[in-house]
Amino acid sequence: MTSQLNQRGAFELASALARREITALDLVNACLERIDLRERDIDAWAALSPQSARDRARELDAGPVRGLLHGLPLGVKDLFDTADLPTTYGSPIYAGHRPVADAAAVALCREAGAIVLGKTVSTEFATYQPGPTVNPRRAGHTPGGSSSGSAAAVADGMVPLALGSQTAGSIIRPAAFCGVTGYKPSFGKVPVTGMKPLSENLDTVGGFSLYVKDVALLLAALSGDHALLDIDENSTPRFGLCRTPQWDAADVDTQAAMEAAATGLSRHGAACVEVNIAAQYSGLAQVQTDVMAHDAARSLSWEHDRHAALLSPGLASMLQAGMDITRHQHEANLARADAARRACDAWFADCDVLLAPSAIGEAPTGLDATGDPLFCRMWSLLGLPCIHVPFSSGRTGLPVGLQVIGRAGKDRQALHAAQWLQDRLARQ
């Protein structure tokens, strides 16, 4: 029995744990068995704490139901501080670093009853230099980044939930490459305290699991927004097919996924309209790139000044580019982003949510890069809620899906649409 528990979704497991139909200890053991079997091949974990996880599971089994995440094993991206585990932020600069307190997101999960199994691999300071993690769907392919280990651990059945963060495409892209559900909530919905900062204007806490209901559960616990627990309703969402100004970069697999979604949603009675974004917004991806570089150069100024030799060449180049962006240029970029945020509600005039590419295509071959976040940059800049829904595969059989995008602050509406889509397209 324990060997099968790790294959179930977090929402289903949480319900079974609350009803005492299964024990937290059995679930933790099932996850640890899977890690023992597969970690040598996947390399999803930066640190593990099996004994403390088992001890915590026994405490929870012996006491009352703690909260929404009672007894659920959790992977924590190695960008979040943890008082009981090392936190390296994916960099040799912080080898052996032990914070004195948990990040707010970690503390909130523990308070809700989650059991931290360990820290999942992050790219270097949540940027582009990959860690060792391999895509569990196929060896030799990137799992994406920067939340590489979190996406891979969930995809491989090592853990039902994992924390991630997104500044450009660090939740949606690895979710797409690994074939799991990833949720980047509205900007500011979850506190970032205790997470190594990259960009104060963009950093967002989110997570991974198998199904939309699962990530909604995680974010309900993190945000206190319990309306996210109720995303099943009878209303049929209206979808806006948004190919985005970057559509020419989408490969045939992503293009086919968009066409399949349009056909499938229409067959199930959902209204689908084309949403075209005006040419004046075509530069938003570059604006995001520049805002991120400017902020990162300042957030990582100590590391750049004191430990430049331990930074990857790519990150060093990005930080220098960020320092070269003047305050006037940065303020102009922020003003352009603010204007786009005010205007983007018009994109939803005839639909409830947008449906857009999550990535260029399937996970690329090779482990020396994590793929291009192009199709995520604009939405991260605008701070809109995004949910990647896997429902198809590409030419070589690797996962492909699309992201559902909602209005700012309308996370429940976006999750409902994503759930509706997943229920119908992913089970065809």
Catalytic residue IDs? 77, 146, 170
Q: Which residues have C-beta within 8 Å of that of residue 311, sequence separation ≥ 6?
A: 91, 93, 124, 303, 304, 319
Q: At what angle do helices 104-111 and 212-223 cross, to 10 degrees?
A: 100
Alpha-carbon gap, residue 377 to 370, rounded angstroms: 15
**Angle at CA of residue 124, ends 118 and 125, nearest 5°:** 85
Taking the C-alpha atoms of residue 199 and residue 201, their distance in angstroms, rounded to an integer, is 5
| Contact (CB, 8 A) for 120 and 75 | yes
Helix (H, G, I), strand (E, B) or coil at 259: helix
Strand 399-405 relative to strand 386-393: parallel, antiparallel, unpaired? antiparallel
Angle at 137 between CA 208 and CA 33, to 5 degrees: 70
Give the strand pairing for 115-120 and 353-357: unpaired
In angstroms, the CA 74 to CA 36 distance is 16
Q: Distance (Å, rounded) from C-alpha 356 to C-alpha 359?
A: 9
> 100: helix, coil or strand?
coil
Residues making up the chain, counted from first to last:
428
- At 83 the three-state DSSP class reads coil
In contact, 78 and 47? CB cutoff 8 Å: yes
Amino acid, res. 25 = L
CA-wise closest residue to 362 among 371, 353, 374: 371
CB 120 within 8 A of CB 153: yes
Question: How many Cβ atoms sit within 10 Å of the Cβ of residue 251?
Answer: 15
Q: How far is the C-alpha of 158 from the C-alpha of 362, rounded, in Å?
A: 22
For residues 169 and 184, what is the distance between their CA atoms, to the nearest angstrom?
9
Angle at 165 between CA 164 and CA 169, to 5 degrees: 110
Say whether the peptide bond before residue 146 is cis (omega within 30 degrees of 0).
Answer: yes
